[in-house]
Amino acid sequence: MVPKLRRWVLYSILVASILFVTSTTVDLFDRHCHRRRGKHQQSLDRILHPGLFQPKFKWANLVQQHPVQNLTTLPDGPLAHIPRIQHEFEPETYEEKVRRQKRLNAVKEAFLHSWEGYKRNAWLQDELTPLSGGVHNLFGGWGVTLCDSLDTLWIMGLQKEFAAAVADLNKIDFTTTPLDNINIFETTIRYMGGFLSAYDLSGHRYGILLEKAVALGEMLYHAFDTPNRMPVTRWDWKNAALGGPQEAARFSLLAEVGSFTLEFTRLSQLTGDHKYYDAIARITNVFEEQQNRTKLPGLFPTMLDTKNADFTRDRIFTLGGMADSLYEYLPKQHLMLGGRSEQYRKLYTTAIKTAKEHIFFRPLNPDNQKILLAGTLKQNSAARKELIPQGEHLTCFAGGMVALAAKAFQQTHDLEIARQLVDGCLWAYESMPSGIMPENFYAAPCREGKNEDHIAEHNCTWSEEKWHHAIAKHRSPPTSRQKIGPTKPP
């Protein structure tokens, strides 16, 4: 018995020693990892994941470093008279109805093909990678495809799909994200826009939609907590959660600064919390102050200095990418406020006047169609403006924007401008062998002067010589041939 007892004691000591060494090693490794992660991450973990009996972290409870003393509230008073926007169509014939239904079904089938793939392979993830069946999470990892598709599901009459998607929203937690930085523009238009539009379309029957919009709004509101209340558009949310200092950037994209108005305004309207409207009203006031100080008065450059609220430096002006939604939101915001404020009407009418003078241009085309494209203007000096006759798919919204504003602001003469802008995009589609408009392309403007009236209708007859001249002007230089040189015979 004694040898067995000794053997048992020996084994016990050996096992205890192994456990001690293993525990010590793991502890040392854990401490090493924590040192590498730094105190910043440890503090963040304690905030986001408090102890069992500690209150859960909520963005709404985080104290602002630059709190607003006097909130700008939603404008009140009677609604302004806004004319009917939609055209009154004649009753459709049977043939027209059949054609319309066929088109509707084609669009619905295309959507359902994508939706089923997302459901099967990437549910609650941001995006599906269609060829591999994998996922891509660049928008917070909160299921952007699901959230951004909610209103589409409702509009298409897919109520069962809608209800299933809404039922899983409680699995989304806007407290945290694996990403280090959040694009608050994309997050606002896709997530908050998705929740609010679905909430309104469904007749406010699904309270979780508004709950999620509020939860997200509480988070995003802290991106505006800067000395001048201009937003940090590429936002280090971890630093904000820790109470670190933050300020707006010296280089911010126009669209990312100016495209919060609709979502934040609607959130204030639905909740009665004016802080969201205050956040965007302060930005709008800066746009109003700067509009006639830019290098092309009336329009805003693609790059803004939001740290100093100075929009006078950049020289590139466009309605396309990096700028588009700022202009798109102006007439829509006027409607959202029921016409109670003239601020957005003035911003739009001033901008569109400059766009008609310097951005819209007539391209040469073999059929001499009366069309317009929205180009880009480079302000080389105070007296020298250069039109870059580059068409862009993202500018195809402009025709709808101009038409909407023409009706809302009773500028009926602009309806023809709107029609020609839409026809310009249709022409770009029809000109391609694939039937698909390029994302970007150059066209030959009818008038090529540096300070010409590019929208003028005269002298816009097709000229193959002018067209070839434009091709030569904008083609890429054959650098590869120059470097290689002529091939020597063997």
What is the DSSP secondary-structure string of 181-241? Answer: SEEHHHHIIIIIHHHHHHHHHTTT--HHHHHHHHHHHHHHGGGG-STT----SEE-HHHHH
pLDDT at 487: 39
CA distances to 175, 231, 444 from 225, in Å:
17, 7, 46
pLDDT at 384: 87
Structure tokens at 134: 């994998």
pLDDT at 14: 58
What is the rounded CA–CA span in Å between residue 183 and residue 186?
6
What is the rounded CA–CA span in Å between residue 342 and residue 346?
6
Q: What is the DSSP letter of 458?
A: S
Name the phi and psi angles at 90, rounded to 5. Answer: -70, 155
CA distances to 324, 340, 389, 487 from 490, in Å:
56, 80, 45, 9
pLDDT at 381: 80
pTM confidence score? 0.87
Phi-psi region of 435 (alpha: psi -120 to 50; beta: other; left: phi over 0): left
Structure tokens at 150: 């909610």
pLDDT at 52: 66
pLDDT at 474: 76
What is the rounded CA–CA span in Å between residue 285 and residue 304?
15
Q: Are 206 and 168 in contact (CB under 8 A)?
A: no
pLDDT at 231: 99
Per-residue pLDDT of the chain (490 residues; tens, 9 = 90+): 455 556 665 666 655 555 554 444 444 444 444 444 455 666 777 777 776 667 788 999 999 999 999 999 999 999 999 999 999 999 999 999 999 999 999 999 999 999 999 999 999 999 999 999 999 999 999 999 999 999 999 999 999 999 999 999 999 999 999 999 999 999 999 999 999 999 999 999 999 999 999 999 999 999 999 999 999 999 999 999 999 999 999 999 999 999 999 999 999 999 999 999 999 999 999 999 999 999 999 999 999 999 999 999 999 999 999 999 999 999 999 999 999 999 999 999 999 999 999 999 999 999 999 999 999 999 988 778 999 999 999 999 999 999 999 999 999 999 999 999 999 999 999 999 999 999 999 999 998 654 456 666 667 899 999 899 888 887 765 544 333 333 344 4
What is the rounded CA–CA span in Å between residue 33 and residue 40?
13
3-state secondary structure of 160: helix
Question: What is the domain partition of the chain in residue ranges?
Answer: 100-248
